[in-house]
Amino acid sequence: MTIIVQKTAQLIAGMIFIYGIYIIIHGHLTPGGGFAGGVVIAGSFILITLAFGSDFLRLVKEETGTTIIESIATIMVIFIATAGFLFGTHIFFNNFLPKGTVGQLVSAGVLPLYNIFVGAEVAASIFIIFLSLIIFKEESPK
Amino acid sequence: MITYLMCFALFLVGLYGAITMRNLVKIAISMSIMEFSTFLFFALLGYVEDGVAPIVNPDDPAKIYVDPLPQALVLTAIVIGLATTALMMAVIIRLYRKCGTFDIREIRNLRG
Amino acid sequence: MNPLIPLFVIIPLAAAFLIMIIGRFIRDFNKYFTSLVLLLLVCLTLWSLLKIDGGVSVYKVGGWEPDNYIPIGIYMVLDSFNIIILCIITIVGFLSAVYSISYIKRYTSENYFYSLYCLMIAGMNGVVLSGDLFNIFVFLEISVISAYALVAFGVEKNELEASFKYQVLGGIASFLILFGIGFIYWKTKTLNIADIRVAFTSGYDKKFYLFAQLLILSGFGLKAAIIPFHAWLPDAHSSAPSPISAMLSGVLIKAVGIYVIIRLFFNMFAITENIAVLITTLGTLSMVVGVFLAIGQWDIKRLLAYHSISQMGYVVMSAGAGMILIARGVKPEVASLAIAGGIFHLVNHAAFKGLLFLNAGAIEYRTGTRDLREMGGLAKSMPATSATSFVASMSISGIPPFNGFFSKLVIIIAAVMAKFYLLAALAVIVSIITLASFLKFQRYAFYDKPEYPKEPKPKEVPFPMVFSMVILSIVCLLLSLLIFPGIRETVLTPAIDILTDPLKYSNSILGI
């Protein structure tokens, strides 16, 4: 892509990333949460890959790393659900951390942790979908 | 009442597209139209007269809120729809590589 | 509150994602880990079967207790009908996973295969265990999306076309189901199955009720492949890899199709006569049309797939006959007998149809072809495969002392006692034509010529495949013991009780 597109993408992608993190962390106060914030974060990564292009080997390495991040995030979600089983009473998905006052950022027990891990997983998933389709196009013979 | 009927009409438009279109990508887009009509129907279900958006403001709590349960259901269903569409697109791209065409009248190996 | 219930969903879900990470670094980790996880699930299921004792266990997710007797959480329910379906999911799943240790070597990227397989098992367990209407939809989508990807696993033209057809029809079914769930929520303002039943007993609007029932019947009927919704089944079940065909035809169409129809129509909707007549008609049509379409097939897996449609017709027909008798309010013990025959046939079909698909896979593994006209004389070179396929063919045709005979006998006796003579006659005729079709399969594949005509001569298949086929044939023989009075009281009679008693399900859940 031309240099104007590349410079604009560099400027905007950072701000989109910060906006996505804001949506995820304030998931228990304003609408949004894990899913919507994860999609916005994936958008910033896709913008950079589209503007700069990549050669084939670097894309394959990125795909390996992103798959591992996605699997680790899902296992952390299941781990937090099981931690409610072990530390509180014998219930899965129990909300066992202290809940603060309504409206503060650090409140509502274990919900912000769920939002963060689900957001990481959704962002990794959508980026994987995009990367797989590009890798399939790159590796098929012309 | 008329808005509910329009949601159902949109569902029928999507169904017509999925049945009669010949291009594979148009079939996938018609399936997306069908699922969006269901999301609109769900979001309409939770309307309460004189209700505000269901976000609690601790200084000034309102008396009547709109029903928040269908909104949570629609969020989950949107993510499921995304997964379905992504898988369909992947299969369409592979089919294009193997058969060289997007026309479903040419891809008819299995019969009988 | 029974804390074991969510384990059936969480264990395969965690296993699926662990396989994705660790399978990249350690070779051969994925196959043995999947088999171990499924063996753990089989032990959990059998232990729960002995402990369930006719009661209903409820688990409220997150610990949200009902507020003023209105349920506000997501409920997961384990009762005597669920545990039977869980048994067949885990047992057939474990044996297919052992079978695929040596079968999947032909494909690349085995990591994704085992991960998707565990996700499919987690989704099916979630559908069977949930007591909440939208939860059924979410887990249904998880299992069905994994099934779409697994059908297209070897990416040739036939498999991709079959997967695309399955996706379009399955997608239409899912959106019909979602629309039906929206309708029911609109009128009753709750999503809990027991609570909806209580709301329906206090009065409902007749036209809306019929429309919601038709939407739900069409959606789940498409997943269960009853006529006229069967168009995807022959392509999808014949193009998939053989362990996946055994899982799809043996377990998936039962766990996400027939189980949900029986559960919702007996325990959630109040039974009306016109819907009962419609369900019986659809079941009878499936039975007859399926077997007539199956006779002329020369491809082994396509023949077995059409027979799946016919045998599912038996289950739906007998459940419908029970519904007609309950709606008219006459002869409750004959209704219980009909439903018992249907559920027994469901369990039997999982065992012998899974075994038949595994046999077809073994034949294809050694000879490389699926066409009956090119085979012959395999009985001498593949003794284990031919013996187990003989057991399965005799089971599906209804020859004593195998299990198919007892379940078809119960269905026919119930139809005669309820004076539905046409249904009984059709059941007998279809059974005879099934016998003809499977005698053709046995003759052309195993016994026609003295030896296999082409070089190289096939040997027996490797040990994991032989192991799972032999165990499944022993299960086929043992399942015929379910009809005896001692075992029947622990397994089948509590299941029928939960379904036919009008308010036992709702009162047990809401009272807890």
- Token code pair at residue A102: 């309504």
Find, in chain A, the residue whose alpha carbon is nearest to that of B74. Answer: A35
Instruction: Tell me how far apart the alpha carbons of residues C276 and C319 are, in angstroms, rounded to a whole number.
Output: 9
Separation between Cα atoms, residue C173 and residue C217, nearest integer Å: 10
Instruction: Supply B70's token pair.
Output: 């269908």
> Which residues, listed in sequence order, are joined to residue C67 by a DSSP beta bridge?
C70
Nearest CB to C61 within list A70, A74, A93:
A93
Pairing type for strands C75-78 and C57-60 reads antiparallel
Residue A90 has a pLDDT of: 65
Tell me the one-letter amino acid at C304.
L
A26-80 pLDDT tens trace: 888 888 888 999 999 999 999 998 888 877 778 888 888 999 999 999 999 998 8
Give me the total of CB pairs closer than 8 Å, taking one residue from chain A and one from chain B: 25
Q: What is the DSSP letter of C153?
A: -
pLDDT digits (tens, 9 = 90+) for C297-344: 888 899 999 999 999 999 999 999 999 998 888 888 899 889 999 999
How many residues does the structure list for chain A? 142
Nearest to A75 among C14, C60, C63 (CB): C14
| C371 bridge partner residues | C299
Contact by Cβ (8 Å): B66, B53 = yes
**Structural domain boundaries in chain B:** 2-99
What contacts C181, CB < 8 A, 6 or more positions away? C133, C134, C137, C191
State the pLDDT at residue C484. Answer: 80
How far is Cα B73 from Cα B58, in angstroms, rounded to an integer?
Answer: 25
CB atoms within 10 A of CB B72: 13
Name chain C contacts of A81, Cβ cutoff 8 Å.
Answer: 10
Q: How many CB atoms lie within 10 A of CB C201?
A: 11
> d(Cα C46, Cα C468) in Å, to the nearest integer?
18
| CA distances (Å), origin C79, targets A5, A112, C74, C83 | 61, 35, 16, 6
What the block records as the tokens of C494 is 């509590």
CB within 8 A of C486, min separation 6: which ones? none
Contacts C175 to B, Cβ<8 Å: 11, 31, 34-35, 38
Give the pLDDT of residue A127: 93
Of B56, B82, B93, the CB nearest to A102: B56
Interface contact B98-C149, CB threshold 8 A: no
Of C315, C202, C190, C304, the residue nearest C262 (C-alpha): C315
H or E stretch covering C441: helix C421-442
Distance CA B12, CA A63 (A): 39
Query: What residue in B sits closest to A28 (Cα-Cα)?
Result: B55
Hunting for tokens 């046995």 — which residue is that?
C442
Q: Amino acid letter at C122? A: A
Distance from CA of A103 to the nearest CA of B (A): 7
| Yes or no, beta carbons of A102 and B75 under 8 Å apart | no
Residue of B nearest to A38 (CA): B79
Q: How far is A41 from chain C (nearest CA, A)?
A: 22
CA gap A29, A22 in Å, rounded: 11
Residues of C in contact with A82 (CB under 8 A): 10
The hierarchical CATH code for the domain B2-99 is: 1.10.287.3510
For residues C279 and C295, give the distance between their C-alpha atoms in angstroms, rounded to a whole number.
Answer: 25
Stretch (H or E) spanning C275: helix C273-295
Residues in chain B: 112
- Structure tokens given for C415: 């139809």
DSSP reduced 3-state for C371: strand
Put simply, the answer to whether A94 touches C18 (Cβ < 8 Å) is no
Q: List, in order, residues 6 or more apart from A111 with CB less than 8 Å away.
A: A27, A28, A95
pLDDT reported for residue A89: 67
Query: Cα separation of C82 and C136, whole Å?
Result: 14
Measured in angstroms, the CA of B61 and the nearest CA of chain C are apart by: 22
Low-confidence residues of chain B: pLDDT under 70: 112
Asked whether residue A126 carries a pLDDT value surpassing 70, the answer given is yes
3-state helix, strand, coil in chain B (%, to 5): 65, 5, 30
CB A109 within 8 A of CB A96: yes
Maximum Cα–Cα distance for chain C, whole Å? 75
Tokens of C252: 């998936």
What's the complex ipTM?
0.94
Which chains sit next to A, with 3 or more Cβ pairs under 8 A?
A: B, C
Burial C92-114 (b: 16+ CB within 10 A, else e): bbbbbbbbbbbbbeeeeebbbbb
Spell out the per-residue pLDDT of chain C, length 512, in tens. Answer: 677 888 899 999 999 999 988 888 888 888 899 999 999 999 999 998 888 877 788 888 877 888 877 888 888 999 888 999 999 999 999 999 999 998 888 888 888 999 999 999 999 999 999 988 999 999 999 999 999 999 999 888 888 999 999 999 999 999 999 999 999 998 888 888 888 888 888 877 888 889 999 999 999 999 998 888 898 999 899 889 999 999 999 899 988 899 999 999 998 888 888 999 999 999 999 999 999 999 888 888 999 999 999 999 999 999 999 999 988 888 888 998 899 999 999 999 999 999 999 999 998 888 888 888 888 778 888 888 888 989 999 989 888 888 888 889 999 999 999 888 999 999 999 999 999 999 988 888 888 777 777 767 777 888 888 999 999 999 888 888 877 877 887 788 888 888 888 778 888 888 76
Predicted TM-score (pTM) of this structure: 0.94
Which residue is it, tokens 């899912």? C174
SS (H, E, C) A33-62: CHHHHHHHHHHHHHHHHHHHCCCHHHHHHH
Q: Do C3 and A85 touch (CB under 8 A)?
A: yes
Separation CA A112–CA A104 (nearest Å): 12
User: What does the alpha-carbon distance between residue C38 and residue C11 come to, in Å, rounded to a whole number?
Assistant: 9
Residues 6+ apart with CB under 8 A from C340: C410, C492, C493, C496
User: Which residues 6+ apart lie within 8 Å of C207 measured at CB?
Assistant: none
In Å, how far from its chain's centre is CA C442? Answer: 25
Region label for A108, one of left (φ > 0), alpha (ψ between -120 and 50) or beta (otherwise): left
Tell me how far apart the alpha carbons of residues C134 and B74 are, in angstroms, rounded to a whole number: 11
Please give the structure tokens belonging to residue C412.
């026919």
Q: How far apart are CA C148 and CA C119, in angstroms?
A: 12
Q: How far apart are CA C38 and CA C94, in angstroms?
A: 5
Residues of B in contact with C174 (CB under 8 A): 84
Q: Using CA atoms, how far apart are residues C406 and C43, in angstroms rounded to an integer?
A: 27
The Cα-based distances of C120 to A61, A74, C40, C248, C378 in angstroms read 28, 16, 17, 10, 34
CA Rg value for chain A:
18
Minimal-distance CA residue of chain A relative to B87: A129
How far the first Cα of chain A sits from its last, in Å, is 22
Whole-number average pLDDT of chain C? 88
Cβ–Cβ below 8 Å for A94 and C61: no
Q: Does B30 touch chain C (CB under 8 A)?
A: no
Chain A residues with CB inside 8 Å of C3's CB? Answer: 85, 90-92
